[in-house]
Structure 1
């Protein structure tokens, strides 16, 4: 089991690895397993024994991932599809964890690693369908993550990749519309957003984004008008 990056104490890491989901425990840690000779100023003095009350609500079991990444490329290609999908899903969970922590750089890395796991040759149409079903949420998550990272070009790229797999995916259309709006590509943005609205006409997020598009476009037109007026005024002068 891999722990989140906010687990910093050796003793706490060992203790958590001994617990089951939903279990409540109490741990006494000597300084060696806690904050050591430095302590944690100003609250915990040096060389302090500490008590932790812990409830393990949930965890991500990455044992299958560890096994998978130790395989050679040839072995990965023959790894059972069911297990491949499970490994990809686990990597996606890690991505979601870091996304919710607003650590978008690490989330992006996890989502991409999950996609790389799914990049394998398919033996049947049914297998391809299963892989594509797992790919789409990852592509959408990457698109959103790149929007958070203020990289709309990348967000558009992954939104389009999702549409290649599922042409009518509303979230993919929405993400592409958002990305184009960030890039001030107003015509493309409106096209993506109106296509999404046609599928889900009462979707609040889509309708709000179209209102935002209208405001941004109006500001853009006014700015263009002002620039033209200034150009003509200067030429006349």
Structure 2
């Protein structure tokens, strides 16, 4: 069969010819670490195969039924006991080993870590948060970002280290603000947006997030202040200008409702006064 001919030139990576591999395009850098957690992978063979790959690598794999869909198959497309062919491309991966080791330490031991390693751990955690955010897993992303924030905010630093830590904190505060907006918790989004502004008062993203949060809370004057300041920093930013138009529309709608309510309240009084006259 075509699979049998293909398998003759493929590498046996499990020792039982259950998973065979052929590299189509070489990757670069380190292999995926043996203890890596592979997310959202349903086939055992796929997980085994990924752990033999480097970043940027493209490879072809043959999975025997034991490493694929087994005796049941995957009806109606894949019959029982079927050998399957996959092509996998490893775009990127995060090595969490150093991060896991860091969080296994006591708070005192973590404080003794060199700044470079602390920033690396914080960066890894934030990237995990970014991955979860892109999957619309906003609650899980928030937990990753908050863990990153705790590392950076608790860290005692020397004057020469402050700039590096503040830069890392700014990124994670912006992430938290955006995530809380997605979770429809504008009050918390505003808190983290303002923490970002405490680091960089002219940061357009932070001003924009604060404006969005205030708009969600129907605090129109505050929303306008934040958004106008954001527009001042980035006059041609489409999202900022669109949000200002949205704010104007919401404000007009609010004023119209208020006028209508006043009319309903005072109309009976006016009618009664006319009848008495």
Per the normalisation by structure 1, the TM-score is 0.92
Match of 1:172 among 206, 224, 244: 206
**Does 2:118 match 1:73?**
no
**Does 2:144 match 1:105?**
no
Please, which moves more after superposition, 139-148 or 29-38? Answer: 29-38
Partner of 2:165: 131
Confirm or deny: 8 A CA contact 1:91 1:113 kept in the other structure: yes
Match of 2:46 among 12, 24, 27: 12
* Secondary structure of 2:88 counterpart: strand
Partner of 2:255: 221
**Does 2:76 match 1:29?**
no
* Secondary structure of 2:157 counterpart: coil
Residues 59, 211 of structure 1: alpha-carbon distance in 2 compared, 3 angstrom cutoff: same
In 1, distance between residues paired with 2:110 and 2:91?
32
In 2, distance between residues paired with 1:232 and 1:37?
77
Confirm or deny: 8 A CA contact 2:210 2:226 kept in the other structure: yes
Residues 26, 152 of structure 1: alpha-carbon distance in 2 compared, 3 angstrom cutoff: same
In 2, distance between residues paired with 1:68 and 1:8?
29
Partner of 1:83: 117
Structure having the higher helix fraction is 1
Please, which moves more after superposition, 4-13 or 15-24? Answer: 4-13
Structure 2: gaps of 5 or more residues: 1-32, 273-277
Please, which moves more after superposition, 51-60 or 132-141? Answer: 51-60
Equivalent pairs, count = 237
Confirm or deny: 8 A CA contact 2:174 2:193 kept in the other structure: yes
**Does 2:87 match 1:53?**
yes
In 2, distance between residues paired with 1:10 and 1:234?
74
In 1, distance between residues paired with 2:267 and 2:39?
59
Deviations 1:95-147 (A, max 9, x none): 11121222212211221122122233323122122111001111111111111
Residues 78, 54 of structure 1: alpha-carbon distance in 2 compared, 3 angstrom cutoff: same
* Secondary structure of 2:54 counterpart: coil
Q: How does 1:186-201 map to 2 (within 5 A)?
A: 186-201=220-235
Structure 1: gaps of 5 or more residues: none
Partner of 1:162: 196
Confirm or deny: 8 A CA contact 1:3 1:13 kept in the other structure: no
In 2, distance between residues paired with 1:18 and 1:107?
28
**Does 2:219 match 1:205?**
no
Partner of 2:186: 152
Root-mean-square deviation (CA, aligned residues, Å) is 1.8
Q: Could you list the runs of 4 or more consecutive aligned residues of structure 1 that deviate by over 6 angstroms after TM superposition?
A: none
Residues 117, 4 of structure 1: alpha-carbon distance in 2 compared, 3 angstrom cutoff: farther
Q: Which has the larger radius of gyration?
A: 2
How far apart are 1:163 and its partner, in Å?
Answer: 1.2
How far apart are 1:218 and its partner, in Å?
Answer: 0.4
Confirm or deny: 8 A CA contact 1:122 1:128 kept in the other structure: no
Structure having the higher strand fraction is 2
